[in-house]
Structure 1
């Protein structure tokens, strides 16, 4: 791993991306952050995106905060996933912001969720809370696309949740809705409100929401590919 990381061009293809990601396996987050002088937060409570940002620098991600895949040129999204010592995911995985208005004509096939999950580079991260952040290791990468069954599960949940949003039931959605995909509030604080639709079709102000993959989806996915 040499060269100025600020000048790393986006990968030309999946093989190049996978090669870059594989080269990071075994390093600690502290090793990688130190090399590029990226300050290490004390914990991830207020810096949830820090690990992803660190890896993006090494992998040549180009999207930044734009609403497209991290590696837009080759259509791949980056997702880091903290795991326990048995290789099981420790938390849900953020997919994208849930659209609360302007959903006329949106279907599963043209949805942002499907676009983001069409092709994903998963990078495992040692996630044991007892290990200081800088001593946690980067694990193996996995390039994944949903198989037919996974796509059906995701589509079913997405349609159920979007129906609730469109019918003005956003405030009734809980984390228990959805078998593999859930919607949860996503805001820095309770004052960060956005426009939504109320029960009678009227505009309301509500917390922003995000789509998250449940651990019941990512755990078997990892187990199948890494033969856990």
Structure 2
């Protein structure tokens, strides 16, 4: 595995050198097979990029490059340059959240500085032949940070008030809360309507695709 980058500039340079290369080329260089599809290989593209870029955090609740303060996010895009789906940020805490503030939240930490790596994801292109587009570094503007914070505070208030089962993907302007689990039988403790502990499906915070599309348009000058 490549050594960890010593600086943000080194990380960005390393990422940009992947631009234009196919997933098959990257997999061969990493010594791993390329799956025929991602149906049973969720996260494979992200893990492949983590290997090439020297990421260290893995599934820990911290940034992928904690020593640099940078999070790595892949962004599957269509031929027209539009994100195909919303972007997972992190698992949402459903208990023990009294007094939790935005500035100390995992969402704020993860999104404080992100290295976005757009990847071709059109279903008409075989997985092995999909290419890496130009990666870019992003930190939220004041207006973007305000929107993220407002959504996070609204969603966390609903969780704290025991309304987790009432939260839908329609809540939140740029940030949404959705079930996040390998299967529907996975359950985790949460706060119920009367303050009691209930069992519910784990939830994750996701960035809406129209938000990540706006980042792509701003970076590429569209």
TM-score (norm 1): 0.95
Aligned residue for 1:145?
139
Structure 1 unaligned residues grouped into runs of 5+: 1-5
Residue of 33, 36, 44 corresponding to 2:38: 44
CA distance in 1, matches of 2:58, 2:207: 21
SS at match of 1:95: strand
Q: Which runs of 4+ in 1 moved over 4 A?
A: none
CA distance in 2, matches of 1:60, 1:194: 32
Which deviations, in whole Å up to 9, do the C-alpha atoms of 1:193-217 show, x marking residues without a partner? Answer: 0000111111000000000000121
Which deviations, in whole Å up to 9, do the C-alpha atoms of 1:81-119 show, x marking residues without a partner? Answer: 011112111110000000000101211111110000000
Matches within 5 A, 1:183-202: 183-202=177-196
Aligned residue for 1:160?
154
Residue of 124, 134, 137 corresponding to 2:118: 124
Aligned residue for 2:164?
170
SS at match of 2:104: coil
Residue of 48, 58, 63 corresponding to 2:57: 63
Aligned residue for 2:10?
16
Q: CA deviation at 1:34?
A: 1.5
Aligned residue for 1:112?
106
CA distance in 2, matches of 1:143, 1:47: 26
Q: How many residues were matched structurally?
A: 222
TM-score (norm 2): 0.98
SS at match of 2:74: strand
SS at match of 2:173: coil
Aligned residue for 1:83?
77
Aligned residue for 2:86?
92
Is the contact made by 2:30 and 2:52 (CA closer than 8 Å) also made in structure 1?
no
SS at match of 1:91: coil
**CA RMSD across the alignment:** 0.9
Q: CA deviation at 1:44?
A: 1.7
